Structure 1
Amino acid sequence: MNGTLKSLCYGAVGGLAFFLLDLPLAWMMGSMCLTTVLALRGMTLQVHDGLRKVMTAVLGVMLGSSFSPGLFQNLSVWQNGLALLTLNVVLSMIVIYWYYRKIGGFDPITAYFSSAPGGFNVMYEVGEAKGGDGRAIALIHATRILFLVMTVPLAFRYGADIQSGASELDLIGNWGDLEGYLWLSLAAVVGYVGGGLIRLPASHLMGPLAVAAIFEITGITSAKPPMLIVYAAQLVIGTAIGLRFLGTTWHEIRHIIVLSLGSTVVMMLLAVLLSYFATSFVGVSIPGLILALSPGGLAEMSLVALALGIDVAFVSIMHVIRITAIISIVPLAYPTVSKLWDRQKPDPS
């Protein structure tokens, strides 16, 4: 636990620096940037997995409490959004698979599991088990998330006329609404345990999010978590992201990182292009669609939407669907795809 405390202290230094510079998602971005540098320099750091899961559950409650009673009144938004999301994922995987095969020189297995726009842990585990380069797959996905969390908030803050929604939450909260906070605490506990029991993807996030959303939509409570907890969640999650690069050095991984940056740019350009042309079709703002289609982590992109006040419910649900589909379909589709590779190989005779 001392290692976790030390790591969070370093993360807090980075977070404070970004906070004083008035940067978006300061406590997550600042902690992530500093701990990434320290990890690449070989410093021994860690974040206790239990603490990370608890703070992820807190984030789930935050996201769920942003849902509204009229969320699903316009079902065409969700239907059209799902169609656009499907198109984006399919096109993205085709383009990025080609990118890693032709430009990156990856073997087919590594390229296939590296091209998935999500499902970090599952893509790494299954890809390595199938004979791919597990280290490359892990670094590709870690770099993608790191790069997106570092750039997307800044792009929205300074590239678009969007005001942060964080000001709506008090720093220490409204403790006059003690009953509301008890309901949110119940959502965290029930969702955390229940999500694991029914094996939801990203269960420590999705369980609390689902229960808190139900409480909000049904009018049981309209309480919002204190901003202080938002900052704490950002700090823990940001520090944990940065520490994904432990055990590596820039010299060892710079080629893979450059490849990952290139593929991430391609995926984001595709997301922006589709969002621009489909905004009227879906009925969601261009910024909301870009965040919903961004190939970032579920927790990280949802937190960006929450911090900037951009279509939080839509962004969160689209990312849940994206991650669920990728985790469920991509590994199962591998045998079929591998057979196609075998057919394309020249006959040795």
Structure 2
Amino acid sequence: MTSPLPAGTIIRRTLVTLLISAAGGGLAALVNLPAAWLMGGALAVAIAALLGVKVMLPTWLRDATFVLTGLSMGAAVARDSLTLIVQWPVTLAALAVELILIITLTGFLLRKLFGLDRGTAYLSSFPGHLSFVMSIAAAGVGDTRQIIIIQVIRILILTICVPIGALFLPIGHYEGAPVQAPMGFETLLPVGLACAVAGFILTKLKAPAGYVLGAMAVAICAKFAGLFEGSMPQPLLIATFILIGGLIGSRFNGITRSEFKQAAIGGLAGTALTVAIATGVTLAVAPFVDMPFGQIWLGLSPGALEGMGALGIALGFDTAFIAAHHVSRLLMLTFAIPVVAMLIRDKELP
């Protein structure tokens, strides 16, 4: 059992992580990349971690980041979002088909082309619910180090891929709602506290992504009920993006370059196939719903809820749609992961 780090070390590593994320985000903003603060920060911290820099976000700051993400997603929801619900069954059905294709084809690719054992291949192929996947792996299914590397590569590449895709694909910036005035401190404080309490309760109830979901649910319900108006203040939104970038990048902490190289090719190939499937499904479903391509893509994308939600805000899409589909993805995976894990074990038994 490792001893806890001294407080001074935690503070120093946290500050270094945030400075690197802010520098990467600031550089990306200077060259006018979409979602610059998030994408640039995540990439900068990931590179620093692989170069041996000790990066980290302490648990309390990670949880605060999740609360801020949920609050920002809820605050960004437009009042007319509910009018789009009638179109959601089409995209939710597409999401279910997409998950089956991703798990089946990516697992097959990692097994046949890269020689991974069945457990490692299929647990690496699950598009989300990372904590659940790793708990199954820790119980003796697959190689935990390779699984975490491949999964983290997926999250990082998707965070980078979407904003870059906005430059070349019909993802674009969508003016889905009029610009709202930022919330004042007298509104932000009570709404933020309510979001934190809801997130804490859901986390104690073992809900996946509890802090994000709890904060988002409270913010959306409060906004639809007319209890507050306005969006997140821009400086706080940028700070949230910097925190999320640091969180995504710091997942590479402790992964050596040799470990990364060993799993990177399979991780990149698996992520490329995943992105191709998500893009193909989005192209197939786009003619049947009246939504921007990029919004559908973000809703169906197999990235982390906090990352994809933040990208939705940065690119101006309907966060209610994106959040609903990512919550649905987590629920589907909650049932799919143990079923697939049991099938893997049955096939591996002599």
Same fold (TM over 0.5): yes
Tell me the residue number matched to 1:122.
Answer: 132
Tell me the residue number matched to 2:172.
Answer: 162
Tell me the residue number matched to 2:49.
Answer: 39
Instruction: Report if the CA contact (8 A) 1:169-1:226 is conserved.
Output: no
Tell me the residue number matched to 2:19.
Answer: 9
- Picking from 331, 343, 346, the partner of 1:324 is 331
- Post-superposition offset of 1:169: 5.8
Tell me the residue number matched to 2:110.
Answer: 100
- Post-superposition offset of 1:28: 1.9
- Picking from 226, 239, 248, the partner of 2:255 is 248
Tell me the residue number matched to 1:135.
Answer: 145
Instruction: Report if the CA contact (8 A) 2:14-2:58 is conserved.
Output: yes
> Structure 1 counterpart of 2:25, which letter?
G
Distance 2:171 2:294 in 1: 10
Tell me the residue number matched to 1:193.
Answer: 200
Distance 1:131 1:200 in 2: 23
Listed one character per residue, the Cα deviations across residues 185-221 of structure 1 (whole Å, up to 9, x for unaligned) are 2432332223223332101111000010101122222
- Picking from 312, 333, 346, the partner of 1:339 is 346
1:259 is aligned to 2:300: no
Query: Cα gap change, 1:186/1:111 in structure 2, threshold over 3 Å: closer, same or farther?
Result: same
Tell me the residue number matched to 1:86.
Answer: 96
* Partner secondary structure for residue 82 of structure 2: coil
- Post-superposition offset of 1:272: 1.3
Tell me the residue number matched to 1:238.
Answer: 245
Instruction: Report if the CA contact (8 A) 2:123-2:137 is conserved.
Output: yes
Moved more, 1-10 or 85-94: 1-10
Tell me the residue number matched to 2:305.
Answer: 298
Moved more, 189-198 or 97-106: 189-198
Tell me the residue number matched to 2:3.
Answer: none
The share of aligned pairs that are identical, in percent, is 28
Instruction: Report if the CA contact (8 A) 1:32-1:242 is conserved.
Output: yes
* Partner secondary structure for residue 221 of structure 1: coil
Instruction: Report if the CA contact (8 A) 1:190-1:211 is conserved.
Output: no
User: Which residues in structure 2 correspond to 1:68-87 (within 5 Å)?
Assistant: 68-87=78-97
- Gaps in structure 2 of 5+ consecutive residues: 1-10
After TM superposition, the score normalised by the length of structure 1 is: 0.89
* Partner secondary structure for residue 43 of structure 1: coil
- Post-superposition offset of 1:119: 1.4
Instruction: Report if the CA contact (8 A) 2:90-2:285 is conserved.
Output: no
Query: Cα gap change, 1:137/1:310 in structure 2, threshold over 3 Å: closer, same or farther?
Result: same
> Structure 2 counterpart of 1:200, which letter?
A
Distance 2:41 2:294 in 1: 25
Moved more, 39-48 or 243-252: 243-252
After TM superposition, the score normalised by the length of structure 2 is: 0.89
Query: Cα gap change, 1:282/1:187 in structure 2, threshold over 3 Å: closer, same or farther?
Result: farther
Which consecutive aligned stretches of 4+ in structure 1 deviate over 6 angstroms post-superposition?
none
> Aligned-pair RMSD on alpha carbons?
2.3
Instruction: Report if the CA contact (8 A) 1:61-1:187 is conserved.
Output: no
